[in-house]
Structure 1
Amino acid sequence: MSTLSPNHSLISSQTKHSAIYTFPSTRRAGGGLYSAIRATSATEKSGIKIQRNPPESKLTELGVRQWPKWGCPPSKFPWTYEAKEICYILEGKVKVTPNGANESVEIGAGDLVVFPKGMSCTWNVSVAVDKHYNFE
């Protein structure tokens, strides 16, 4: 059974919910950019944290629009995260399959995503991707 949340995001009662981090635009002692944490509703699958359609206020707080951009056409390629990455998908659709996982994680336009440092995976881009990104 699925319901619409107050911000009209689709939330499935069968989806595991956990915390995704919001990150201040300033550095804090001991933890870098990602040290201040406030929990919001999000999903986590295979170590990848996803918040669908975060409010613009959150994107502004993070400084997302000032982050570098990256894009690619439909393609399939391996990737290893040398550092934790947080990204905001502007356009596109991707299935990310972590090495050793039985399932893919689908991400697309409007998703705020955190990939853990050290994750090796395969990106299968079905619709050209354009994203803002930031590495810790």
Structure 2
Amino acid sequence: MATDSEKLGIKIERNPPESKLTQFGVRKWPNRWGCPPSKFPWTYDTKEICYLLEGKVKVTPDGSSESVEIGAGDLVEFPKGMSCTWDVSVGVDKHYNMG
């Protein structure tokens, strides 16, 4: 069952149904990105929606002591202007759409 949550400005829908992915056009997004386990800073110049095919990440927004964990099967929305640190514990493969 899908569960929606929002934490630290990051919206997460865990295990959305295929119908939701189709509605968003996830499988048709031309952008795909992956990385091995690593830790790096990132700033979102525009809103990004992504769907993780694989991986496990702890995202910590700058200035926050809390983090958000995302992983395979999650549909995630990051707000424009967010600066954060990605701590990738399991290599990521994701579809994403900006703007």
Q: Which residue of 1 aligns with 2:24?
A: 62
Unaligned runs of 5+ in 2: none
How high is the TM-score relative to the length of structure 2?
Answer: 0.96
2:70 corresponds to 1:107: yes
2:60 to 77, 80, 97: 97
2:43 corresponds to 1:80: yes
Unaligned runs of 5+ in 1: 1-6, 10-40
2: distance between equivalents of 1:100 and 1:75?
20
2: distance between equivalents of 1:111 and 1:101?
22
Asked which structure has the greater CA Rg, the reply is 1
Residue deviations 1:58-97 (CA, integer Å, cap 9, x gap): 1011110111110000000000000000000000000000
How high is the TM-score relative to the length of structure 1?
Answer: 0.70
Aligned residues: 98
RMSD, aligned α-carbons: 0.9
| Percent sequence identity over aligned pairs | 77
Q: Which has the higher contact order (CA 8 A, sep 6+)?
A: 2
